[in-house]
Structure 1
């Protein structure tokens, strides 16, 4: 699969189309196998007990996978999540950003299937594993 949007283009797309979250998330790298997305963890992402909340972990995986798909198909704002599964495996490390290593498993004309492993920055064991399916709208003539 050819890369049609690099990290700079994806970050600019997020800033333009999703300004409400663009400051929290950043695409770090884009490569032939997928991409790495970062959640800049702040107080708004924490739950009682000082750990990153499940919804914040889900959002990182969703944004990362969405951008992985866009990196191959271009800026299609209306591609949407149609299925998602998250396994929370361990508590994220305190005081660290989260990274999602995202990989596209299948990219068709109307559906894409991808996965993300979410890690605390600097750790080897994943905090979560996510699998998602996206619906890709038909190209307009």
Structure 2
């Protein structure tokens, strides 16, 4: 399985537009960070829903690749998100994924999103990815 540095290099190469930071990688669990700035905010001074959805989708992808290897063609088939509370506009967002199913063709991840330093999640998501046949 790829190391944290190999995952970081893969994202730099394949997704240079991605502005996520891979914080930690362990068995079926990954944490990523997004540095929040004014481009991620919506009126009312909160982090936008699309930013949180991007984080949920990305962290599931990183968690899957950490387990199956660097497969660029694994794709999202569903993503369901619940927005729970207002994220802080002046704190980074952390996304923590735990894979709850990793099969040959499908993987399912559960994600909790937090404003950095807060104990209560700002959103919860579950996503499914299709894994290409080997």
TM exceeding 0.5: yes
Structure 1: state its 5+ residue gaps. none
Report the secondary structure of 2:36's partner residue.
coil
Q: Distance in 1 between matches of 2:75 and 2:88?
A: 30
Structure 2: state its 5+ residue gaps. none
Deviation track 1:22-77 (CA, whole Å, cap 9, x = no partner) reads xx201100012401011111221111112110000000111111000000001100
Report the secondary structure of 1:27's partner residue.
strand
Aligned partners of 2:36 and 2:89 also within 8 Å:
no
Report the secondary structure of 2:17's partner residue.
helix
For 2:61, the equivalent position in structure 1 comes to: 66
Report the secondary structure of 1:123's partner residue.
coil
Aligned residues: CA RMSD: 0.9
Further displaced range: 43-52 or 128-137: 43-52
Provide TM-score, normalisation by structure 2: 0.97
Q: Does 1:90 align with 2:61?
A: no
* Partner of residue 11 from structure 1, selected from 8, 22, 36: 8
Q: How many residue pairs get matched?
A: 134
Aligned partners of 2:41 and 2:89 also within 8 Å:
no
Q: Distance in 1 between matches of 2:94 and 2:6?
A: 19
